[in-house]
A = this chain, B = another copy of it.
Amino acid sequence: MEENRQIAGKQSLLFSNPPYIQCTACIAGKKEGEGPLGHMIEEINEDPMFGMNTWEEAESKLQALTVNKLLKKANLIPGEIRYIFAGDLLGQLIGTTFGLMDFQIPLFGLYGACSTMGESMALAAMSVNAGYADRVIALASSHYAGAEKQFRYPLEYGNQRPLSATWTVTGCGSLLIGREKSMVRIAGITTGKVVDYGVKDSMNMGACMAPAAADLIYANFMDFNVNETYYDMIITGDLGEVGRTILLELLKDKGYDLSKNHMDCGLEIYDNHTQDTHSGGSGCGCSAVVLCSYILKQLEKNRWKRVLFIPTGAMLSTVSFNEGKSVPGIAHGIILESV
């Protein structure tokens, strides 16, 4: 049967009719603009409130501005988009609910913590490849102040952050995924499982997520019968320094050496020496912004031919955390190819 060709392995799909990333839009905050990738980020908004009254409204506005930008660039109206697959880090996805409401596009709300950009791209690509849609949007966002308030302490408390802590990116990345040919396509996906190594430190998210990333990469290699050399670059979402070290160790134990072609979005977006961001960037917006500003450009310029892009998420909630539970991780893998 034709359909079974699409099933490459236990956790992966290889698309028979790979969808294309037709257009992107990305907006980030001031601090992200001052980082090493700042000059490549399409739009920097200097106002952390995005003109609104609360951090949550600010994130919603950031999403709305980003989708408006995407539609304008693609010369489309909301009615021409069949689905939005989107999410954020806030409880009950209020960033997304209020941010995307006015577009009146059918919405699949997703929660994969900081892996949400991978989850949204996976489901978006599955929909387009299956012919359910000609054009969909995949999107994820995060906001530094909203995330600190949600997960740790409101900024007003002025608490100190340990060196293992990451800095939540204020940013939103959005992709128009469709059938029309472009320079980058989504060749396949590997869908993650929840992986828990029992780490209980909400200030050390890298350690929580690294095992999930390692598990996902290993599953991808097994499903497609490849190794690290199959990809020009293997890119995780927001492991940071601590998480990257753990990831490389875990995969070394399985016989893979990722030291030469692994990159972590969280380590690219800030310069820790001058920006005091400790272990690196994090949040749904981290991998989303680095994808739109840097990764896709390398693919478009054919500097990279094939990339395994793996947004990584730490399933943290203040409730479960305060009840003494661990912080399990999840990761979603996307195979990007230059055309």
Contact = CB atoms under 8 A, between A and B. Distances in A.
B79 A328 contact: no
Contacts of A129: 130
A191 B104 CA distance: 11
A72 interface: no
Given A101-B328, A112-B109, A317 B132 contact: no
Contacts of A89: 92
A4 B132 CA distance: 7
Interface residues of A, number: 63
B315 A97 contact: yes
A336 to B, nearest CB: 19
Interface in A10-53: 10-11, 13, 53
Interface stretch (A61-69, A161-169, A257-265, A318-326): A318-326
A100 B194 contact: yes
Given A94-B319, A94-B320, A109 B107 contact: no
A56 B192 CA distance: 23
A295 interface: no
Contacts of A97: 194, 315, 320, 328, 330
A248 interface: no
Interface string A279-323: 000000000000000000000000000000000000111111001
Interface in A128-153: 129-133, 150
A123 interface: yes
B319 A56 contact: yes
A58 B220 CA distance: 34
A2 interface: yes
B328 A54 contact: no
A117 to B, nearest CB: 13
A229 interface: no
Nearest to A88: B111
A133 B4 CA distance: 8
Contacts of A196: 101
Contacts of A91: 91-92, 317-319
